Amino acid sequence: MIKKIFDLIESAEKILIITHVNPDGDTLGCACAMKSYIGEKADILVQVSKGKSYPEIYSFLPYLKKAKTLDNVENIYDTVICLDIASVDRIVENAREIFNKARVTINIDHHKTNKGYAAYNHILGSLSSTGEVIYEMFSISGKKITLEMAECLYVSILTDTGCFKYETVTPRTLQIAAELAEIGVNTADIASKCYDLKPKTMVMFQSYCTSNAKFECDDKIVYTLISKETMGKFSAKDEYTEGICELLRSIKSVEFAFVLKETSDNSTKVSMRSKQKDATLIAKKFGGGGHTRSAGCTIKKSLNQSILCLLDEVRKYI
Ligand SMILES: [Mn+2]
């Protein structure tokens, strides 16, 4: 499959590299590494619409400033490459039309819930990040990884492992990190760019959400509800909620942590983190998915109704 994918990239005329909705460091890092490898004939699509953007901290990555968005992407691609996209419903609006029309569709991912929705699928559910999957593809094929690509892949692996903290980290993950450092990646500089340049209001907003958290089942379950009003009060961008769930999970007694964000009157976005149990079992109940310790879903109910439904489910797993 790896050779086939490189052959397809070679023979493609115009390639669109698609990142998932609510883009994170993994999907963006992979897209930039892939764009760096392919060159001119590839464009990156960051799936955001007018007025929205990818998390600002990643603006140091190459190529993102010139990336297409849902507002300006044209349906002119014969080949699409989906990176870190767990399911086809994370390809939205006109991006889905482009995906459907493309002659060749490639899906490279590490989500164990990925069912392989493209014509060519390369999914390694046990790897830490899609960055690691891509590194291995280049490594196995004997293709050169330039410093620019190495920096992008390092961002992917660093951020998707929570700074090499998660149990998805294997000896091979660390070996790859070392190999990227040997290529010349300044690991301290990248870590600082990813974690020490948060806007002041983001940290204030996160403290507010954390202090409003509620506990259930002898403090084994913790959750915080974030209304549109709260988002507005802090002028919070979507990315400002990143990290709250991990912080709540870090409480000693906690097994499950949830962050519920109101997206409209009848829609709530749920992020979940667990310590031992499989969070995907809960996410799947609501049509979502993800990883064992980090999953998500959208519940088509109000914020207050959503938490009741969610608590009903999660109590079964405690
Ligand atoms: Mn990922």
- Cα of 131 to ligand 1 centre, how many Å? 8
Do 220 and 180 lie in a common domain?
Answer: no
**DSSP 8-state symbol, 68:** B
Tokens of 92: 């939205």
CATH number of the domain bearing residue 273:
3.10.310.30
- Cα of 129 to ligand 1 centre, how many Å? 5
Last residue of a domain, one of 145, 164, 195: 195
- Cα of 29 to ligand 1 centre, how many Å? 10
pLDDT-derived band of residue 50, with 50, 70 and 90 as boundaries? confident
Last residue of a domain, one of 195, 222, 252: 195
Supply the mean pLDDT for the chain: 96
**Are the C-beta atoms of residues 82 and 95 closer than 8 Å to each other?**
no
Do 132 and 236 lie in a common domain?
Answer: no
CATH number of the domain bearing residue 174:
3.90.1640.10
CA distance linking residue 38 with residue 2, whole number of Å? 15
Is residue 52 pLDDT above 90, yes or no?
no
- Cα of 27 to ligand 1 centre, how many Å? 6
In the structure, ligand 1 is a single-atom ion and the residues with CB under 5 Å from it are 26, 84, 130, 160
Report pLDDT digits (tens) over 64-93: 999 999 999 999 999 999 999 999 999 999
* Partners of residue 261 on adjacent β-strands: 226, 269
Do 104 and 186 lie in a common domain?
Answer: yes
Contacts of 119 (CB under 8 A, 6+ apart): 104, 105, 106
Residues of the chain with pLDDT > 70, as a percent, come to: 100
Do 148 and 222 lie in a common domain?
Answer: no
Do 135 and 276 lie in a common domain?
Answer: no
Do 118 and 142 lie in a common domain?
Answer: yes
Do 261 and 220 lie in a common domain?
Answer: yes
- Cα of 290 to ligand 1 centre, how many Å? 9
Do 89 and 204 lie in a common domain?
Answer: no
What is the reported pLDDT for 184? 98
Do 227 and 191 lie in a common domain?
Answer: no
CA distance linking residue 114 with residue 233, whole number of Å? 37
Domain count, the chain: 2
CA distance linking residue 170 with residue 20, whole number of Å? 25
Do 40 and 176 lie in a common domain?
Answer: yes
- Cα of 306 to ligand 1 centre, how many Å? 26
Cβ-count burial 87-120 (b if 16+ within 10 Å, e if not) = bbebbeebbeebbeebebbbbbbbbbbbeebbeb
What is this structure's pTM?
0.90
- Cα of 133 to ligand 1 centre, how many Å? 10
Do 83 and 129 lie in a common domain?
Answer: yes
Do 74 and 163 lie in a common domain?
Answer: yes
- Cα of 168 to ligand 1 centre, how many Å? 11
- Cα of 159 to ligand 1 centre, how many Å? 9
- Cα of 223 to ligand 1 centre, how many Å? 23
Last residue of a domain, one of 144, 171, 195: 195
- Cα of 33 to ligand 1 centre, how many Å? 14
3-state secondary structure 238-301: HHHHCCHHHHHHCCCCCCEEEEEEEEECCEEEEEEEECCCCHHHHHHHCCCEECCCEEEEEECC
**Are the C-beta atoms of residues 280 and 289 closer than 8 Å to each other?**
yes
- Cα of 132 to ligand 1 centre, how many Å? 9
Domain boundaries, position 222: 200-315
What is the reported pLDDT for 315? 94
